[in-house]
Amino acid sequence: MKAAVPITVSGLKASCSQCNLVELCLPFGMSEHDLNRLDELVGARRKIKRQQSLYRAGDPFEAIYAIRAGSFKTDVLLEDGRDQVTGFQMTGEILGLDGISAETHSCNAIALEDSEVCVIPYGKLEEMSREVEGLQHQFHKVMSREIVRDHGVMMLLGSMRAEERLAAFLLNMSQRFTARGFSPAEFHLRMTRDEIGSYLGLKLETVSRAFSRFQEDGLVSVQQKHIRILNAGGLKRLLQHQSGGR
C-alpha cells in the first residue's frame, strides 16, 4: 500500500539468553552454553511500524528475522493484482525463510501493528550452525515446521468449507495465544476481515457471515476484532464432522 519505508535500526544489541521468548523462538531447547553463543549471532533489533514492510518480494535476501514484539502477515502477489496472504506470524516466530532458495525474498512481510524483530544475518547463521549442533538442528526444525504448517493450510484451502476454515483459524490463533501466555478463550485479532479472508481463500463478506453464524450458535462472541471463544468443543466438532466439504 505504502511506498518504501524508513527503516529504524535500534542500537540495542539483542540477547537471546536474556529474552523471555526463548521457548518459542529459534533457541528453543538449546543448552545455556550454546545460547550464549547465539548472542553473537543476532544482530541489531529493528522496529517496524504498522503497515510498513520488513521486506518485500524481490528484495535481496540477507537475513532472517525473529519477531520480538508485535505481529506480521506475509503475502504473495500475482502480476494481475491478485494477492494472497500466506501466513500470520506472532512473537517468537521466524520470518524470511522463503528468501534462502533464490537469494531473493519471494513474498512481502508487513507489520500488523508496531513491531520489533531481531535481525539474524543469514551468512553468520550458516557459519555458526556449523559449529553449534543445537543451533543447526533447531534451525532445521523451524524450516520443517513451516513446511508442515503450509501443508495444513493447503489441506484447509483444498478441502474445507468456509465455516470449517474459520473454525480452524480461530482454534489455531487460540492455541498460539495460549503458547504465549495469553488467554485461550479471549483475544484480539490484529488483522482485518479482508486479510483473514485472503488467508482462508474466502471473501471478506463470507468471513463476516461465518463470524455472525458462530455468534448465533453461541460458539464465540465477536466484537469487531475482539474474540471470545465460548465453546471450543463446538468449534472442534465443526472440523471433524465431515460436513460434505468440497
Partner DNA sequence: TTTTGTGGTTGACGTGGATCAACGGTGTCC
Partner DNA sequence: GGACACCGTTGATCCACGTCAACCACAAAA
Q: How far apart are CA 146 and CA 177, in angstroms?
A: 18
Q: Does 198 bind a copy of itself (CB under 8 A)?
A: yes
Residues 19-58 that bind a copy of itself (CB under 8 A): none
Among residues 114, 122, 116, 160, the alpha carbon closest in space to that of 139 is found at 122
The entry of a copy of itself, DNA, none near residue 18 (CB within 5 to 8 angstroms by kind) is none
Are the CB atoms for 64 and 77 separated by under 8 Å? Answer: no
DSSP 201-235: T--HHHHHHHHHHHHHTTSEEEETTEEEES-HHHH
Q: Does 88 bind DNA (CB under 7 A)?
A: no
Name the grid cell of 62.
540477507
Residues 120-139 that bind a copy of itself (CB under 8 A): 126, 129-131, 133, 136-137
Selected binder of DNA within 21, 41, 162, 229 (CB under 7 A)? 162
Q: Does 56 bind DNA (CB under 7 A)?
A: no
DSSP 60: B
Q: Does 146 bind a copy of itself (CB under 8 A)?
A: yes
163 to 202: interface string for DNA, x by CB under 7 A: x----------------------------xxx------xx
Are the CB atoms for 14 and 47 separated by under 8 Å? Answer: no
CB of 80 to DNA, least distance (A): 13
